[in-house]
Structure 1
Amino acid sequence: MTLVQSGRLRLDDRVVDHLPGFRFGGASHASKVTIRHLLAQTTGLPEPAGFEVTDCFRSGCPSPAERIGALDDVKPLGPPGMRYAYTSANYLVLAAVVEAVTKRPFGDYLRQAVLGPAGMDGAVTDAVSARRRNLPPGHQLLWGIPSAVADGIDDHGASYGYLGGDLGDLAAFASLQLRRGKTVDGGTVLTSDSVRLMREEGRLQPAGTGTGYGLGWRIGGGLEAPLDTAVWHTGATPGYSAMLFLLPQRNIALVLQQNIYGLLHDGAVMEVGFGAVRLLTGGRPPAAQPSASTYYATVWGGQCPGAGDDPGGRALGPAPAPPGRDRRTSPARLRDGGMVRARRVARCGDGVARGVDDPAAGEDVGTRRLPRALRRGDRRRRHRRPPDHARPACRRALALTTSWRRRRRADLGFLEGRREQRGP
């Protein structure tokens, strides 16, 4: 949007005018895709397309422009503007467009145009900045125990997910948004027109059906009141997740980070943030605790007794620990196993963000301690062999939680295992 403001790019520019090698869906389809379609997630790219071009962790990964050829043979969901589907591939293509226009790496331009002015001096955009910030390892649950298994960063992934920082960095970004694009000293990162456009819900053609998505933000997104007017986004990479909620009418925001994430415990991880923001707005969190029944059902070969879903899909409660598991390390007690931090952000009279620990995220929103077995480095307990009846199921779970490290090495070294998060 900063390039649009400066006139170097227009929302209705065709992507092929900046990236002649863009051939998604064939030359005819690709020639109709615009910058606006990419931002609004309405190019026709299906969600799995992201797996083809994202999560490259090896050295010497290709640039965004060098990856888009993998989209040539992807079948579109429909003509541009007619179908909504969130996929990281859209924002990887945007990174290639930015690099073509600026002649600079996307991360470098992002720091100069947005992160620096916003006060996000410690932001992580690549592996080098992650090492400089001593980024802690990400965690995934292995048989119920949070284990440090995620250690990769896509050096060209800042546009679609590998952009991070500490709570101070995220709070600075939230404050910039509450000030509608203005910096603390009165400078402008985003104009009021840009802020308005980004927070307008997209409409599909020809019926005008709302998508729940703006230009980079979820708008309400199907959440119940009082969050139906929230501007928000969530996201995750293997081992990490983050959530940011803007409540412009109340002039407050909430940011939350967790260094634990895996597809099998997606709902439990994300519900921590949704519950926190409900409390912040005076609502009540769900009566049921975040459920890890999906995780248990996969790992232990079937749904655990006492855990399940009601006909409406709502988790009935935390699953009991499987035989032989200590309750303290059960993924149903997710917040005791990972590292969860949350902060409420409010704009003060001088326009400076004020951050306070928010009890909405739990009784103690500081850094959680890992299970005793991990703190003491007890390898026998940490890696103990599962029961005989569970081994086939455990192998299936590993295929979903760790084998993404080994897959897709043949084509550009891409690794599967990342998905953008939706609301409940």
Structure 2
Amino acid sequence: MRIRVIAALSAVLCTLAAPVHAEPAPYAELDAYVRDNVRAPGVSYAVVGPDGPLHRGAWGTDGRGDRVTPGTPFLWGSVAKPVTATGVMALVQSGRLGLDDPVAEHVPEFAFDERVTVRHLLGHTSGLPPSTVFEVADCHAADCPRPAARLAALDDADPLGPPGTEYAYASTNYIALAAVVESVTGRPFAAYMREAVFRPTGMDGAIADTESARHLAPGHQYLWGIPTATAGEYDPHGAAYGYMGGDLDDLAAFASSQLRDDSILKPESLQQMRKESKPGTGYGLGWRVGGLDAPLQNAIWHTGGTPGYSAMLFLLPERDVALVLQQNLYGLLQDGPVMQVGFGAARILAGGEPGDTPSATVHHATVWGLTALALALLLATARSVAVARRPRPSRRATAAWCLAGLAPSLLLAGVVTLIDLRRLWAWVPDATLALCVAAAAGAATALLRTVRALRPDERA
């Protein structure tokens, strides 16, 4: 009997002494993936349910070197579009605006096509070419015109087709929507959004104008592959298409409202936004609809980037959760690699594998190729100075030097016909600087070689 008691006590003691293997935290895999794969100096993200955040993460530093917290503001880029669309749908739901109202009926400045409706703008089926965005967006001056005043630049644009027939994603549509909102409400776009969307959903710190953006730290862009805090400009009337933002709780509050039936929009309005505006486009009214591989094939989502910032929002209706993620880094030529951390995290949240990170070959080839060209032409300029007093070269050699030297200038001239130099600098500063140096050095080389060829031959 005594032996049995001792054995029983020993068994109990061994059980108590055995190591306890705790279950892993429910979001441990997601946290580890984001931490291991984020490229930005600072990031914040949240898993969100109908009642608010279920899990949050934030780390890194902002453009001033301060620690990133859930209260750090970011810009959201085109994630602003579903927020703007929600504000527009609130006007539709109240009867103050119709989805099939002609835009010109509310905004006479919109002379692009009198048949374009509010629905066409929301779904990017207005016929506006994507290139028109360079005419009206990314105005960073203190005296930037309001949305309606920018629309005259569209008068000479060639439509892609009759309204409703062609899908082409263009932020120009949402600049026009901001003008519609201001016309219908008689208020600045930011003021209307605060009343109709931000306050009702709890987006208390949302950024939508210069005043609310005053505490925003500079964002980061790639300079020869290194994230650098260089982007600090803001479009004061660009919130509708991309210059909207806020802290983690602001973006999470919007996502949470989209998971509830008692949000500012009725369920039928929410569902209408999540149906393709034109079959096969993968775009609803402000939202991207599906179009991703499993397990995100039914996701409602949007991504966005402005110079220095990027954000992503995924609604997973089947799981009744959402993922929001914002970073203080964006590179136009590195869109895929920068955004992959959000896509991978969303796949993990949906029960899948994160997938591979896209290659940054386009960025590296463009930036380093232009940099190598600039250095080569700088050397060519120095060489041209060194041989300036030597005998005249052959015409063929001079022509070859001139063609090689003027090639970057021709390339730069072609690029600026699509986007002006200031906007090009805002989006890809390293490639822009390299191209400008190459153009200047090439032109100098061509000039020096031409002068040498035209100089009288001292041997005569």
Q: Deviations over 1:352-377 (max 9, x none)?
A: xxxxxxxxxxxxxxxxxxxxxxxxxx
1:418 to partner: Cα distance: 6.2
Structure with the greater alpha carbon radius of gyration: 2
- Matched letter for residue 214 of structure 1: G
CA distance in 2, matches of 1:116, 1:158: 16
- Matched letter for residue 270 of structure 1: M
Structure 1 portions without partners, runs of 5+: 25-29, 183-187, 204-208, 303-321, 323-384, 420-424
Structure 2 portions without partners, runs of 5+: 1-88, 380-407, 429-460
SS in 1 for 2:119: helix
Structure 1 segment 23-422 matched on structure 2, within 5 A: 23-24=111-112, 30-131=113-214, 134-180=215-261, 182=262, 188-203=263-278, 209-220=279-290, 222-286=291-355, 288-301=356-369, 388=375, 408=420
SS in 1 for 2:301: strand
Q: Deviations over 1:184-233 (max 9, x none)?
A: xxxx4111121011011122xxxxx421000000000x201111110000
CA distance in 1, matches of 2:420, 2:327: 27
Residue 19 of structure 1 aligns with which residue? Answer: 107
CA distance in 1, matches of 2:373, 2:225: 11
Verify the 8 A CA contact 1:42 1:83 in the aligned structure 2. yes
SS in 1 for 2:322: strand
- Matched letter for residue 148 of structure 1: A
Q: Deviations over 1:314-333 (max 9, x none)?
A: xxxxxxxx9xxxxxxxxxxx
CA distance in 2, matches of 1:391, 1:174: 51
- Matched letter for residue 282 of structure 1: G
Verify the 8 A CA contact 2:219 2:232 in the aligned structure 1. yes
CA distance in 1, matches of 2:373, 2:234: 31
Going from structure 1 to structure 2, the CA distance change for 1:93 and 1:128 (only over 3 Å counts) comes to same
Verify the 8 A CA contact 1:237 1:417 in the aligned structure 2. no
Going from structure 1 to structure 2, the CA distance change for 1:231 and 1:58 (only over 3 Å counts) comes to same
- Matched letter for residue 6 of structure 1: S
SS in 2 for 1:93: helix
Verify the 8 A CA contact 1:212 1:219 in the aligned structure 2. yes
Verify the 8 A CA contact 2:231 2:307 in the aligned structure 1. yes
1:98 to partner: Cα distance: 0.6
Q: Return the match for 2:96 from 8, 16, 37.
A: 8
Going from structure 1 to structure 2, the CA distance change for 1:416 and 1:249 (only over 3 Å counts) comes to farther
CA distance in 2, matches of 1:198, 1:257: 23
Pairwise CA RMSD = 2.7
Verify the 8 A CA contact 2:129 2:170 in the aligned structure 1. yes
SS in 2 for 1:127: coil
How many equivalent pairs are there? 307
- Matched letter for residue 225 of structure 2: G
CA distance in 2, matches of 1:275, 1:9: 39
SS in 2 for 1:31: coil
1:387 to partner: Cα distance: 10
Q: Deviations over 1:135-158 (max 9, x none)?
A: 121111111211111111111111
CA distance in 2, matches of 1:53, 1:265: 24
Higher relative contact order (CA 8 A, sep 6+): 2
CA distance in 1, matches of 2:227, 2:297: 33
CA distance in 1, matches of 2:378, 2:272: 52
Question: Quick check: which one's helix share is greater?
Answer: 2
CA distance in 2, matches of 1:238, 1:418: 6
Verify the 8 A CA contact 1:198 1:216 in the aligned structure 2. yes
Verify the 8 A CA contact 2:125 2:167 in the aligned structure 1. yes
Verify the 8 A CA contact 1:51 1:415 in the aligned structure 2. no
Q: Deviations over 1:227-262 (max 9, x none)?
A: 111000011111111000000110010011111112
Verify the 8 A CA contact 1:199 1:231 in the aligned structure 2. yes
TM-score normalised over the length of structure 1: 0.68
Verify the 8 A CA contact 1:57 1:415 in the aligned structure 2. no
Verify the 8 A CA contact 1:233 1:245 in the aligned structure 2. yes
- Matched letter for residue 91 of structure 2: L
Verify the 8 A CA contact 1:226 1:283 in the aligned structure 2. yes
CA distance in 1, matches of 2:159, 2:283: 19
Residue 443 of structure 2 aligns with which residue? Answer: none
**Percentage of pairs with the same residue:** 60
Verify the 8 A CA contact 2:231 2:426 in the aligned structure 1. no
CA distance in 2, matches of 1:216, 1:89: 13
- Matched letter for residue 328 of structure 2: N
Verify the 8 A CA contact 1:149 1:239 in the aligned structure 2. yes
CA distance in 2, matches of 1:391, 1:244: 45
SS in 1 for 2:161: coil
1:282 to partner: Cα distance: 1.3
CA distance in 1, matches of 2:154, 2:331: 26
- Matched letter for residue 150 of structure 1: A
